[in-house]
Structure 1
Amino acid sequence: MKELITKRIERLRKLLCVLFSSVVVAIFVEPLLTRKITETRPIPIWYPFEWERKLYLSLTLYLYEIAVTISLLIIIVSIDTFVGSVLLIIGGQLESLGYRLKSLSTDNGSIWRMQFKNCAEDYYQIYQLCKKFEEIFSTMISFQAMFSCLMICLSGYALIRAETSEDSMRFFLFFLCMPYQVFFPCFAGNQVAEKSEKLLFYLYSSNWPEIDTRYKKMLLLFSIKLNRPIIIRFGFIKQLRLRTFTEVVDISYKIYAVLQHAQK
């Protein structure tokens, strides 16, 4: 089931990239095809000099706008995917740790103790990494969630009130991208929480009844720690999970309903 969800998310990401690229290409190609490059700008930017009806200057500005747009896209995509990618890596480390806990050897007590100690140390390192992640990115994620909530609402409102097909396509694409910007880190944070919750199950799935009693005490203490799963938190003690994404969408819809009611 999780593999199916992951594949669908990947397909959605590719579809959004194709749609976004198509619209960007259409925006920049249209002035060339209509031969209005010296009259209109693909992106409405104000320049402190006259560029109208100057072919070479218009082409220079055209190339400049393309370069800036591509650079900004790369930066924005890199920033948006970095946070989620770090969380997915942490989730992979937790899953690997779970398999190691499940495969603890019971043939020799000293070997079990050494393997268990390594697993406990790795869990502590992962836990510290998550706390460091919260310390660095919690503020950024909070502002991103609030900004995305507002942008989802405003882009949907602008899409409904768009007067031209070109504006409709731009706002529609932006409307599709903004929820994904919130969904990806929420999905990755949810993966961390789920992998952490399964560690206790993996530990109990090992052959712990066969180990010595003194080692069972170590296992019991560690299980108490695992009973509190790792959950990434940000601003106002919100949890970075899938239900947070639904809350953002719900708040966006409420703001949209208020704007619609204000126009009546």
Structure 2
Amino acid sequence: MAPLSWKSNVPLAFNAWIPYSLESKITYFFTYFHQIVCIMMAACITASVESLAMVIMLHICAQLEIIVHRLKSLPRLQEKSNSQSIIYELESKLIKDCVNHHIHTYTLGENLNETFGPVIFVQFFVSVIALGAVIYPMSKLSTSLYDLNTWRLIFTFASTISQIFLYCFYGDKMMEKSMAIAEEVYQIDWIETTIKTKKNLTSIMMRAEKPIKLTGLSIIIMTIETFFKIIKSAYSAYNVLKKT
């Protein structure tokens, strides 16, 4: 808001074509205020969308951990009763709940991709383009730490990288948790369970072989590997531009 207190040579916050004169202080103030409100709304919307996506991914990870914890309690059902019929009934109920819970968790992952897939796809490519736009001027700057433009580009670069990293990190965690269910089920003491329970556990393992992934329109899979590829590409582009 500092430019509003300047007396002369006052620029707008962003370059824009305005179909009226800005010589009047009132028209300039409302135009400047309009730009500030728009950029604040854009920042809030971007932050809220990303935060909601992260929270849903963490929620999916928590649900997968709950499923694993419930499955690990299967062998302990033998301690509650000596009757095979009661044990079979308890196992059937627990397995049915775990299977339904697993299906609902995968449904939540599908809804996440359907809702945020296009948004993530657009934001991912915008971030990559912004990364390239920052790398080019960084390759032309001096290494002086006293240069204000250097610090501006460094902070912009860090912000862009952080945005991509958050999607890749939480997407990788979600996929890791969903794949870990098969391993956790394998570690259960299968000897103490009934034959039908063994078959149901096998079905859960087969379903868990297809992990929950965060994708952008089924084109980009957000994982740590994807993030490292972006970093390598950015570093290669920086070296090429630095030599030219």
Q: Where on the TM-score scale, by shorter chain, does this alignment land: which range?
A: 0.7 to 0.9
Q: How do 1:69-108 and structure 2 match up within 5 A? A: 69-104=39-74, 105-107=76-78, 108=87
| 1:149 and 1:251 in contact (8 A); partners too | no
When residues 43 and 226 of structure 1 are mapped into structure 2, their CA distance, relative to the original with a 3 A threshold, is closer
Shift of the alpha carbon at 1:157? 1.9
Select the residue among 43, 46, 51 that pairs with 2:14. Answer: 43
| Unpaired stretches in structure 2, ≥5 consecutive residues | 79-86
| 1:102 and 1:204 in contact (8 A); partners too | no
> Equivalents in 1 of 2:207, 2:166: separation in Å?
28
Shift of the alpha carbon at 1:178? 0.9
Q: Secondary structure at the match of 1:106?
A: helix
Q: How do 1:154-165 and structure 2 match up within 5 A? A: 154-161=133-140, 165=147
Residue 118, structure 1, aligned to residue 118, structure 2: no
Question: Which moves more between the two structures, 188-197 or 85-94?
Answer: 85-94
Shift of the alpha carbon at 1:194? 1.5
| Unpaired stretches in structure 1, ≥5 consecutive residues | 1-27
> Equivalents in 1 of 2:135, 2:158: separation in Å?
9
Q: How do 1:191-230 and structure 2 match up within 5 A? A: 191-230=173-212
Shift of the alpha carbon at 1:79? 2.6
When residues 87 and 56 of structure 1 are mapped into structure 2, their CA distance, relative to the original with a 3 A threshold, is same
Q: Secondary structure at the match of 2:211?
A: coil
Shift of the alpha carbon at 1:260? 3.7
Shift of the alpha carbon at 1:186? 0.9
Partner of 2:109: 130
Letter in 2 for 1:209: I
**Hey, which bits of structure 1, 4+ residues long, moved more than 6 A?**
none
* Percent of aligned pairs with the same amino acid: 24
When residues 234 and 50 of structure 1 are mapped into structure 2, their CA distance, relative to the original with a 3 A threshold, is closer
Superposition RMSD in Å = 2.9
Shift of the alpha carbon at 1:83? 2.7
Shift of the alpha carbon at 1:236? 6.9
Shift of the alpha carbon at 1:162? 5.8
Letter in 2 for 1:87: M
Residue 244, structure 1, aligned to residue 237, structure 2: no
Q: Which is higher, the Rg of structure 1 or of structure 2?
A: 2
Residue 65, structure 1, aligned to residue 44, structure 2: no
